[in-house]
C-alpha cells in the first residue's frame, strides 16, 4: 500500500482525526499542544497520528491535503485546518458543534 493510500485509509476510517507532532498526552510542539487541547475539551473521542513516528506521512500529507503545516484536523473526511483555525473554532463554539455532530453521526452508524 502506498503512503497516499495509507493516508486515505486513515482519513476514511476515523471520523475525527488529528495529525500532530507527538500525542495528545505528550505533544511535541506548541501548535499540536493547543490543537489537541481544544479537541480534548470538546469531550469526544478522536484518533490521532503522531507524524514524528511516521516520517513518510509527514512528507506526503502536506501534498495530499494541500496544507503545508501540522497539526491537521480532519472531520468526516474533510480537512478542517490547522492550529489557528482549530483554536478560533474552539473559541466560537463551532469546533464543539462540529465534533459533537460528527461523533453522534459515527455512533448512529455503528449502532
Q: Which residues are annotated as a binding site for [2Fe-2S] cluster?
A: 29
Q: What are phi and psi of 54, to 5 degrees?
A: -135, 70
d(CA 107, CA 56): 31
Query: Cα dist. 31→9, 12, 16 in Å?
Result: 25, 24, 18
Annotated binding site: 21, 29, 58, 70, 83-84
Annotated binding site for glutathione: 21, 58, 70, 83-84
Amino acid at each position: 500500500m502506498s503512503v497516499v493510500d495509507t493516508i486515505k485509509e486513515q482519513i476514511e476510517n476515523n471520523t475525527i482525526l488529528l495529525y500532530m507532532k507527538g500525542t495528545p498526552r505528550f505533544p511535541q510542539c506548541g501548535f499540536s499542544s493547543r490543537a489537541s487541547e481544544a479537541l480534548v475539551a470538546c469531550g469526544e473521542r478522536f484518533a490521532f497520528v503522531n507524524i514524528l513516528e511516521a516520517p513518510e506521512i509527514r512528507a506526503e500529507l502536506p501534498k495530499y491535503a494541500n496544507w503545508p503545516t501540522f497539526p491537521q484536523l480532519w472531520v468526516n473526511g474533510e480537512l478542517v485546518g490547522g492550529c489557528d483555525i482549530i483554536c478560533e473554532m474552539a473559541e466560537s463554539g463551532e469546533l464543539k458543534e462540529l465534533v459533537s455532530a460528527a461523533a453522534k453521526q459515527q455512533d448512529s452508524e455503528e449502532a
